[in-house]
Amino acid sequence: MNNETAKEILSAYRPNGQDATDPSFREALEQAERDPELRAWFERERQRDQAIASLIGQHPVHGNNKQALLAMVKVAQPLRLKTFPWRWLALAACAVFGFGLIGLRYFNSSPSPTVPMSVASGLPTRLAGWADGISTLDHPSTNVAEIQAWLKNTGAPSPVTLPKSLADIPPLGCERIPTTDGVAVSVICFMDQGHLVHLFVLNGAANLPQGYPDHSWVSAHGWNSYVWKDGNQVFALVSKASPKDLTGLVT
């Protein structure tokens, strides 16, 4: 091995010595022991590498997102249900529903971008089902304005206004909820005092059944929800936190 080859090999030798036991460096290291010129070069190189490595390793990581990241994946835990064979079963079911919908649309061309009766009447169960089914977020972000813009750009319901108390809690991200009845639903997820809090947004409050209350508490399958109307939008704050804890977020 000539010195040039040895230099090329030793260029990959980490200055912290982690490669000391790697046999592929042995010959080059032995040559550096024997050859004074190569040894001097290697010492200079290691010292320089150490200095640069320490500068890069000290580069500050601003605004650490670890907690948000861990929370986001907690949100995604129900995703386990989507692993094989459930994924294929779900796809098959979606296909059946999809064909059904296409058929329905073919015979009934009236658009359904609003909240139909079926959703409104079964709202507590639907909310619990949506909350249970939230998978890894479509758009992880800790910026509410950015989430609102993203939802708007993708044609999903985007909240025009948010409760003030929610504005103080950094969100985790958002997801568009797939529904089989054409209702556009989106959700923004927050983490508040160790509890996941989902804010569902549905367009079309005007189409809620006559007499549907402007504000209501509903509960189903362990999820507590506070539902309210604001303009033409329906909001639902859904969490496993107690109604008392949720109250603080909507006042």
Partner 1 sequence: MTFDEHFKELVDRWYEPLCRFAYSLSRNDSEAKDLTQNAFLKWARQGRGLRDSARAKTWLFSVVNNEFLDQVRHRSRHPCTELSEDNSATSPSIRANNDPVGQDLDSKLVWSALDRLEERFRAPLVLFYLQDHSYREIAEIMDVPIGTVMSRLRRAKDQLREIMDRNSSEKPKITPFEKEA
CB of residue 146 to partner 1, shortest distance in Å: 10
Are 114 and 207 in contact by the 8 Å Cβ rule? The answer is yes
What is the per-residue binding string for partner 1 in 8-27, x denoting contact by CB under 8 A? xx-xx-xxx-xx--x-----
CB of residue 62 to partner 1, shortest distance in Å: 5
Instruction: Provide the b/e sequence for 26-49 (b: ≥16 CB within 10 Å).
Output: eebbebbeeeeebeebbeebbeee
The token pair that represents 32 in the structure block: 């550096």
59: contact with partner 1 by CB under 8 A: yes
| Of positions 23, 36, 63, 85, contacts partner 1 by CB under 8 A | 63
The CA distance from 24 to 29, in Å, is 10
74: contact with partner 1 by CB under 8 A: yes
| Of positions 35, 45, 230, 245, contacts partner 1 by CB under 8 A | 45
> What are the C-alpha distances in Å from 212 to residues 7, 44, 120, 234?
78, 78, 8, 11
* Strands 223-230, 195-203: pairing kind: unpaired
Q: Which residues contact 96 (CB under 8 A, 6 or more apart)?
A: none
136: contact with partner 1 by CB under 8 A: yes
| Of positions 2, 23, 61, 145, contacts partner 1 by CB under 8 A | 61
The CA distance from 98 to 100, in Å, is 5
**Footprint on residues 78-107 left by partner 1 (CB under 8 A):** 79
145: contact with partner 1 by CB under 8 A: no
Contacts with partner 1, residue ranges (CB under 8 A): 7-9, 11-12, 14-16, 18-19, 22, 44-45, 47-66, 68-70, 72-74, 76-77, 79, 136-137, 140
